[in-house]
Each structure stands twice: as structure tokens, then as C-alpha cells.
Amino acid sequence: LIGRVEAAGNVRVSDFTSRCTSTGRAIVGSSVLFGLWHALPAWSTISVYQTGAIRDAGAAASVGVVVGGVVITGIVGAGLAWLRLRTDSLAAPVLVHVAANSASYLAAFAIARWL
């Protein structure tokens, strides 16, 4: 959810939510969108790096993994929205997102080297 952009470049989600809906609904809506946004990358990752267990279980297992990933990512999105509202800054959730992505890439690299 994007509100009005101030001269300093700070996105004011609170302005948007106060005009359009409650804060809780805005967090739920943005979290659902955040989770769904990550569905295609999750599906692509599974199709490229299928492990034996997922490949042997078939398409239903792949769908289950993607749905689980979307749910978990949606929960993370709620946390990021809460952090945005709590800090009144977009920088905090962006930095947390960058740190989480960086950690996951490093972990995947380490696991790939280990296997």
C-alpha cells in the first residue's frame, strides 16, 4: 500500500490507511500482497532446484511448498508493515528485508557448497 509521497521521499502509509481503511486491514492487505508477490519466485526456485523428496512427491508437494512459502512470507510482510508503522520509517523494513534476503542467499550458497 502506497500513500502520498512527501517531499523528503518518505512514503506515508498511515496517511493512506487513515483515509481508506483501518490500520489492521491495511496490514493484512499489504501482507497478503507481499506473500503473493513471492509465489512466482518460490515456484521458480522449486522447479530449478527440486530436491529428491519434492520431486518424488509430485506436483502436490510443490504446490504445498509454494503455498507454505506464501503464508510464511505473508507473516513476514505483517512484521515488516508493523515495523514500518512502529518506526515511522521505510528504511527499517527495507533494511530488514535486505538482511533477510542476504542471509538466505548466503545460507543457500553454503548449503550448495556443502552438498
d(CA 79, CA 86): 10
Q: 79 with 27: CB under 8 angstroms?
A: no
Tell me what percent of the residues of the chain surpass a pLDDT of 70: 66
Task: Return mean pLDDT, the chain.
Answer: 76
d(CA 104, CA 99): 9
Cell of 24: 489492521
For residue 59, pLDDT beyond 60: yes
29 phi/psi in degrees, rounded to 5: -60, -45
Q: Which residue, chain included where needed, has cell 506464501? A: 70
Top-confidence residue, 55 or 69: 69
pLDDT tens-digit series, residues 19-37:
667 888 889 999 999 999 9
25-56 burial: b if 16+ Cβ within 10 Å, else e: ebbbbbbeebbeebeeebbeebeeeeeeebee
Top-confidence residue, 83 or 62: 83
